Structure 1
Amino acid sequence: MKYKLKIKNLIMITMLASMPTLLDTTIANADTIEDEFLSVINKYKIEDVVVEEGISLEKGEILDLSQYPNWELSDNETIEINSNGIVKAVNEGTVFLSQRIGEKVYIVEIYVPSEIPTINIVSREAKPRGYYKVFIDAGHGGTDPGSLGCGYRESDINLQVAKKVESKLKSKGIDVKMSRSSDIYYSLSERSEMANNYGADLFVSIHQNSAEQKSANGIETYYTEKKPNDKPLSNDIQTNLINKTGAINRKVKTANFAVLTQTKMTAALAECGFISNPEEANKISNPTYQDKLATGIADGIEKYLKENVIINEIQMTATGKVINANSLNVRKGPSTSFNIIGTLNGGDEVKIVGKSNDWYKIEYNGVYGYVSGSYIELNTTEPDQDNKINFTDVGKDYWAYSQIESFVEKGYIDGYEDGTFRPQDPIKRNEFVKIFNRVFGLTEKSGIVFDDTKDNWAKDEIDIAVTNGVAQGVGDNKFEPEQYITREAAAKMLANYMNIEDKNHDKINKFSDYNQISDWARDAFEGNLEKGYIQGTDEGKLAPKNNITRAEVVTILSRVIN
């Protein structure tokens, strides 16, 4: 009997009207979610334990566990469960259910959020940046091993595959954030919160499967029925995984796993193979096969992004007309891979509101569409004499207009040849130190060269920044000049130069995500907040791991010099 599969199938949720008498339960005296988890798992032999993918329930929702009704609970405040195994979510929080079924002990984490997550529709629309953002979740970790089989821990294999996926995505120019890069425990709520704060275009969780029946094998990918529009991502990942590995296709399925329901972006969970099957366990633990898995996942992600997520869109206002064509297709997105939503005739006038690569975003029959720029002739207009910088994507009503205008006029930062400034684009480490040096008039060099800067265009700028104590390498004699700089890294460089580090963390501690600041950046972030140079985001977060934008850099440095 495939207990793991049957347990997964139990997460089909139905709404029931009433609840009979409750079972007696055990309340864990735990200070953290991990402590509560340890109080459960430590009751059993670790080799007998299978930690299931956690699920989420909204308050009032019902989970039918009647097939295996005798569950032990880590607390009796989050959910109610009756003698028939019917569960009802009653209060926000996390609870762990455990039960021995056959030869294994199954542990299921149930997370009840304080509020129903709102799908971020804006995150699924065009992005005013020139790159994709992907969140990769290596399932389980730390004190949570996931499933164990054939001498392997699921959490270890998940991380190995996830790191390979990260590397492959970065080689494609895709920005990646990992839920974990080491063997560490994170709760379900922490994983989804990290992804939501990062503002990813999509989320992918990587797992390995397990079953009582050792012959069970193959790959399956999940999405949640609560977000039906997420299915195409799962389809793309599943198809590419099967094509790359030749594994048995267990197809795309639905499940209300917490990391799928609580993330605001498109999300999928891939089960890459059965750790309980000796033959398949040898495969998924093999680096060569893991590379095939990672390639399949990365290729599936890339395919979905290119066909569904629009990036590098520049806001602009202009008019034009169709030329060199009797008929011009209007598409849903800025490439021929998007569906056609209508056509224009030669000579038709268009109102342009944006640009993505060589495609114009236009108003079309009450919606927005995209047409190839090769067939549009812009109407010439006199420049706005009051707009001294005259960027097509930075109007006088833009929140950082005055700071951008000042920095451009002083030569601290430049726009692009196409007449844009791209204020929401991220900025690389080499670009940041160049601007920093210009703003503070730094010129002293000492001949410092890193292995990865000797041929970089900003070699001298990096030398200046390091010589003047602004920046330093990242280890192994590398500087990573082409990597995007995060808010915490920018705060550290500014604190280095201004000597404003502050060990009294009374400012950063007021933000809910302060614990996401790296240890090496906490004093620097505190000092910047104290001085008012760096502020929280519009969402009331510090967002230390977010890439800092061009507009943010200009604004922060403006506060310093003014």
Structure 2
Amino acid sequence: MVKIYVDPGHGGSDPGAVANGIQEKNVVLAIGTSIRDILQLEYENAEVRMSRTGDTFPSLSQRTNDANAWGADFFLSIHVNAGGGTGYEDYIYTTLSDSSATGVMRARIHEEVMKLNGMSDRGRKKANFHVLRETAMPAVLTENGFIDNSADAAKMKSNSWIQDVARGHVNGLERALGLRKKSGSGSTFLIRVKVASLYYYDAPDWNARAGTVSQGEVFTVVETLTVNGSTMYRLKSGNYITANPQYVEII
């Protein structure tokens, strides 16, 4: 198994950068959680641990100590930027060369993220960040747009963009770490379903039609029913989804 440590930056009392009505801690948690979900759902040799899964604030030392103690093979820290710029960039530790093992891994992640994030490329950089310096394994920190840029922030508010960015990171991790897809995973994707009040009917709606949905989208369920032996979920938008072949996670 390849042990991947996913670190959504900030959290809890530390919101990170704040602008345009959103907070960095929430954006990066959404990206990090989606990365975890895709890895666990689609790959047979990926084991994932996260520094946080909710609105908490582990210290920088707690994050790196946890990854080191767990024996992670790779450390991925997710952030968004601020300061008047625009676009995507990523970092490895200052003393590492681009041709080092970590540099090559970062290059593959960079290439795959840039294919899907719809942002300008600010390049591959180096820094003396704690999470890059104190980790005992290859580590990369990604900065996914500028929260104080209105165009970048508009993307951050889009769930489809969150999913695209997560997918880009996962595609890069697959290339960098030799991850193997589960058999048949190419036709499976994750849909989160937010349960509202559920109404059950004795007679199902046989005219129900499954709507087209995007990977990772969150819907509100207003009704469940059974059609030809398959459970269907009626969405607030009026469309239906089925539990098969999609993977439906009730939240």
Is the TM-score greater than 0.5? Answer: yes
* Alpha-carbon displacement from aligned partner over 1:365-389 (angstroms, at most 9, x marks no partner): xxxxxxxxxxxxxxxxxxxxxxxxx
> Equivalent residue for 2:114?
242
Structure 2 gaps of 5+ residues are: 180-251
- Structure 2 match to 1:175: 47
C-alpha distance in structure 2 between counterparts of 1:199 and 1:302, whole Å: 19
* Alignment of structure 1 residues 260-279 onto 2, 5 Å: 260-279=132-151
CA distance in 1, matches of 2:96, 2:133: 7
Q: Which has the higher strand share?
A: 2
Q: Which structure is richer in relative contact order (CA contacts within 8 A, separation 6 or more)?
A: 2
1:47-79 deviation digits (Å, cap 9, x = unpaired): xxxxxxxxxxxxxxxxxxxxxxxxxxxxxxxxx
**For 1:196 and 1:285, how far apart are their aligned partners in 2?**
33
Q: SS of 1:169's equivalent? A: helix
Structure 1-normalised TM-score? 0.30
Matches within 5 A, 1:393-404: none
Whole-angstrom CA distance in 1 between matches of 2:150 and 2:162: 16
- The aligned residue for residue 29 of structure 2 is 159
What does residue range 418-497 of structure 1 map to in structure 2 within 5 Å?
A: none
Q: 1:301 offset after TM fit, Å?
A: 0.9
Deviation at 1:286, TM superposition (A): 1.1
1:293 counterpart (165, 177, 192): 165
Percent identity, please. 34
- Matched residue SS, 1:250: strand
Deviation at 1:139, TM superposition (A): 0.3
Residue 253 (structure 1) aligns with: 125
2:49 & 2:56 partners in 1: Cα distance? 15
What is the deviation of 1:227? 3.8
Alignment equivalent of 1:206, drawn from 70, 75, 78: 78
Residue aligned with 1:270, SS = strand
Deviations for 1:279-303, whole angstroms, at most 9, x for unmatched residues?
1101012110000100011111110
Is the 8 Å Cα contact of residues 226 and 261 (structure 1) preserved in structure 2? no
Which amino acid in 2 is paired with 1:220? E
Whole-Å Cα distance in 2 between the matches of residues 180 and 262 of structure 1? 18
- 3-state SS of the aligned residue for 1:204? strand
TM-score (ref. length: structure 2):
0.67
Residue 234 of structure 1 deviates from its aligned partner by: 1.5
Rounded Cα–Cα distance in structure 2 between residues aligned with 1:306 and 1:225: 25
SS in 1 for 2:107: helix
- Cα deviation, 1:147-190, whole Å, max 9, x if unaligned, reads 00101110010100000000111121211000000000111111
**1:299 is matched by which residue type in structure 2?**
N
Q: Does the CA contact (< 8 Å) of 1:139 and 1:207 recur in 2?
A: yes
Cα distance between partner residues in 2 of 1:187 and 1:306: 30
Q: Residue 150 of structure 1 contacts residue 281 of structure 1 at CA under 8 Å; is this kept in 2?
A: yes
Once the two structures are TM-superposed, the CA of residue 255 in structure 1 deviates from its matched residue by: 0.3
Q: Aligned partners of 1:179 and 1:260: how far apart in 2?
A: 14
Distance in 2, matches of 1:196 and 1:227, equals 19
Q: 2:156 aligns to what?
A: 284
Deviations 1:390-426 (A, max 9, x none): xxxxxxxxxxxxxxxxxxxxxxxxxxxxxxxxxxxxx
- Residues 1:193 and 2:65 are matched in the alignment: yes
Q: Supply the distance in 2 between the matched residues of 1:281 and 1:151 (Cα, whole angstroms).
A: 9
8 Å CA contact 1:219, 1:272 repeated in 2: yes
Alignment check: 8 A CA contact 1:227 1:261 kept: no
Match of 2:86 in 1: 217
Match of 1:226 in 2: 95
Structure 1: gaps (5+ residues)? 1-130, 308-562
Q: Distance in 2 between matches of 1:146 and 1:223?
A: 20
